[in-house]
Amino acid sequence: MRTPSLIAVLSLATATLALIAPAAAQPAAPPDPVDPYAGGGAPGAAPSSPATPAPAAAAAGAPARATVLHAPVAESPPGTPVEILAVIDRAWAEPVLLARYRTGDGPWREAVFQRSSAGGWFATIPAEAITAAGAAYYIVGRGEAGEIVHFASAEAPQPIRVEPTLRDRLEQLDDDRLGGRREAVSLDVDGHDFGNRYGNADRFVRAELRWTHRVSRTLHSVGFGFGSIWGRTPDRDGLAAREQVALGRYGSAEVRLRAHPSFFIDGKLMLGVSDEGFLRGGGAAVTFGKPWRSNLSIGGEMIDDLGPTAYVRLQWDTAVPLLMGASIVRTDLPDAQLSANGLYVKYDLAYPVNPGLVVRGAVSFGSRDGAGRLGGGLGVETRF
């Protein structure tokens, strides 16, 4: 019988196909995302593995991390604390948040972030770490996940460029100009013979030895010195006048302020003795311009028993390296008793033999009572 045999073969083929491809026997329902047995699995059977695991499932066992938002600090003036500001989400996940900082290539130090009253977070890099050498920092947190870098890194930190202040730049310019020599010792001897129409002696000689320390900030320099004045002058007008000897020995303290890059103020105090007793004195001057370049100076001083002095001086540097100056000086030195005041003009120059040695010279011409006479001076200064 051929018909029953054909039916049996077809039945067997159908059963085999059903075993090999059950999905072909009936359409598969779309998997239910909530049903762990989605995809046609029966209860008690292992669920089928999806092609790509869900992100939530992948991070299910990972420790929580903080999120840090921070605007980098790029520059700062020297000697000023720097605040590192941040907004932190999930700060509880990393109980310790740090700004690691260093000066130049120095060792790393740590500043702990603190909660701000405004709601953010901040860490402070102290002022002593902000120097001309520059600074750098990066931000890390510590939590269950260990140490996590949130901004920059030790290998590539955020640099802080330290911009020098005007005073810093002026100080550096002074050091460059003088090769770092901040000390100076000078000796100057100056004098003038006023002459007298009656043939009497009227002259003085003054010597000063000074030490100066240059600070090159707003306080530009300070100095101490010793001075001596000797002179002869008529005790009155006329042929019957007698010559009076005037003597003074004193110590002095000097200070120079740089109120502006091109405006200086000098002050001076003197204490000592004279031929008449205790001697006190003081002086002041202002300089418009730089003392080592072209400038205009106006100044004066008053010394007990020896008299006042005032001057105006113009200096120019058009013949480098020479510095030249011209002055008009009015003085009562050395304790003039005449009604007429001494007045003379003075020309001076300074020449730097080398960076550490300067020599000076001056010549003057003027009178007090009678024809004009000559005067002058010499000086030397060593810098180290």
- Do residues 309 and 358 share a domain? yes
* CATH code of the domain in which 236 resides: 2.40.160.40
283 — pLDDT class (breaks 50, 70, 90): very high
Query: The tokens of 56 are what?
Result: 């939530």
What is the tens place of the pLDDT at every residue in 185-244? 999 999 999 988 888 899 999 999 999 999 999 999 999 999 999 999 998 877 767 888
Q: How do beta strands 75-76 and 158-162 pair?
A: parallel
- Do residues 196 and 238 share a domain? yes
Question: Residue 84 is part of which domain span?
Answer: 67-162
Query: How many angstroms separate the CA atoms of 107 and 105, rounded?
Result: 7
pTM of the shown model: 0.70
Question: Is the residue at 50 inside a domain?
Answer: no
Query: pLDDT value at position 60?
Result: 54
| Domain count within the chain | 2
Query: The tokens of 70 are what?
Result: 């921070």
- Do residues 138 and 199 share a domain? no
Question: Is the residue at 319 inside a domain?
Answer: yes
Question: Is the residue at 7 inside a domain?
Answer: no
- Do residues 198 and 120 share a domain? no
What is the tens place of the pLDDT at every residue in 287-343? 999 999 999 999 999 999 899 999 999 999 999 999 999 999 999 999 988 777 899
Closest CA to 68 of 42, 88, 40, 47: 88
Question: Is the residue at 108 inside a domain?
Answer: yes
* CATH code of the domain in which 155 resides: 2.60.40.10
- Do residues 370 and 274 share a domain? yes
Query: How many angstroms separate the CA atoms of 65 and 92, rounded?
Result: 9
- Do residues 180 and 284 share a domain? yes
Summarize the chain as % helix, strand, coil (round to 5): 10, 50, 35
Query: How many angstroms separate the CA atoms of 4 and 18, rounded?
Result: 21
- Note whether 376 and 327 are within 8 A (CB): no
Which of these three, 162, 196, 226, is where a domain ends?
A: 162
- Do residues 123 and 201 share a domain? no
Angle, alpha carbons 56-65-54 (nearest 5°): 10
- Note whether 324 and 300 are within 8 A (CB): no
- Do residues 174 and 136 share a domain? no
- Do residues 180 and 150 share a domain? no
- Do residues 203 and 338 share a domain? yes
The values of phi and psi at residue 166, to 5°, are -60, -40
Question: Is the residue at 109 inside a domain?
Answer: yes
What is the tens place of the pLDDT at every residue in 158-170? 999 998 889 989 9
Question: Is the residue at 40 inside a domain?
Answer: no
75-89, 111-125, 229-243, 362-376, range with the lowest pLDDT: 229-243
The values of phi and psi at residue 143, to 5°, are -155, -155
Which of these three, 142, 162, 182, is where a domain ends?
A: 162
Query: pLDDT value at position 63?
Result: 82
Provide the 10 A C-beta neighbour count for residue 199: 10
- Note whether 220 and 290 are within 8 A (CB): no
Query: pLDDT value at position 165?
Result: 85
Question: Is the residue at 61 inside a domain?
Answer: no
Question: Is the residue at 379 inside a domain?
Answer: yes
- Do residues 129 and 178 share a domain? no
Which of these three, 120, 143, 162, is where a domain ends?
A: 162
- Do residues 153 and 197 share a domain? no
113 — pLDDT class (breaks 50, 70, 90): very high
Dihedral Cα 65, 70, 74, 77, nearest 10 deg: -110
